[in-house]
Structure 1
Amino acid sequence: MTEPPSPRVNRSGTHTDFRRPSILIYEPQADGSMELVAVENLVFARAWHNTDQSGPPTFHGLAYDTMLDDPATTIDEAHMFEPHFDRHVWIYRDNPNGVFAPFNPAVTCVHHKGRALHTSSAH
């Protein structure tokens, strides 16, 4: 092996039904609770193209956003996922950028507690 294994998430599903979204997006609140702000579907590019689809999935005629890393940057544009398509639907929090925009400036992670909630004693 010449490099470490890739920690990136990769799956084979092609779920696009927003009546049963694959991802729920929550905003951390100051009191430690979580508030539902949006739903999302994510489809891995390789799995989608294996179904003989030529372009990205669509929702109401709008193509899903394409998420993949640009090797010319140090930013992880795909957020630890293999190349994928995703579509956010901001139905629980108004988004000044639009209901289908990938990011919402009205949502913040300022109250996220970080890795402290996710650590374990195992090393």
Structure 2
Amino acid sequence: MNRTRTKITAMVFTAVFAAGLTPSAAFAHGGSSGNSGSSDHASSQEVVYEIARSTARYTWLDRAIKDGYERVTDCIELPGVGAMGVHYAKSKLIDKKTDASKPEALVYMPVKYGNHEYYRLVAAEFLSTAKKAPVLGGVTFNSEAADSQAPYRHSLHAWVWKHNPAGVFAQWNPSISCPKEDTH
């Protein structure tokens, strides 16, 4: 079954790119958000491809859980701004290092299909404990408030699996919302 899923993921991934529906298509609609610092288009696009390539295996939540990602939030939404989704983090990755192929968190949206609910991968999130905000692909991480209780200082979302009209590296996605019973 795992081999079948891998083949299907590879075929879907290839088809998406062949159809021109690349994760970086959002660069044509604004690139990074104003909240994410500056962006060098070429290096940002390369990073987006790397993130998409390295997270393709996590389109199914069960694979992320098997690889050590644990649910750390319910679906997060800010009315009038947008949503982030449900976060699954791999705590041993949260440190000063930043690697586009190893996101510290994966973001999923709950999707109802009849009586069933599944989780669709929409973004990767990078978290850093570095003193200075890191830069990934020319995009500067967002910094947390000084009084934040988060185990990290800086974060950067990469909406590589769901178009974000606010930009690939925007913190919130205004085109999505959490199911009413999951919103926090």
TM-score of the superposed pair, with normalisation by structure 1 = 0.61
Q: 1:81 to 1:58 in 2, by over 3 A?
A: same
Equivalent positions of 1:69-84 (< 5 A) are 78=148, 80-82=149-151, 84=153
Matched residue, 2:121 = 36
Instruction: Structure 2 unaligned segments of length 5 or more: list them.
Output: 1-90
Query: Offset of 1:99 from its aligned partner?
Result: 0.2
Equivalent positions of 1:28-107 (< 5 A) are 28-30=110-112, 31-44=116-129, 48-49=130-131, 55-68=132-145, 78=148, 80-82=149-151, 84-107=153-176
Task: Write the letter of the residue equivalent to 1:60.
Answer: G
Identity of aligned residues (%): 28
Paired with 2:119 and 2:180, the residues of 1 have a C-alpha distance of: 10
Paired with 1:99 and 1:114, the residues of 2 have a C-alpha distance of: 23
TM-score of the superposed pair, with normalisation by structure 2 = 0.43
Instruction: Structure 1 unaligned segments of length 5 or more: list them.
Output: 1-9, 50-54, 71-77, 116-123
Query: Offset of 1:95 from its aligned partner?
Result: 0.2
Task: Write the letter of the residue equivalent to 2:159.
Answer: W
| CA RMSD, 1 decimal | 2.7
Deviating 4+ runs (over 6 angstroms) = none
Number of positions where the alignment pairs a residue of Structure 1 with one of Structure 2: 90
Q: Per residue, is there more helix in 1 or in 2? A: 2
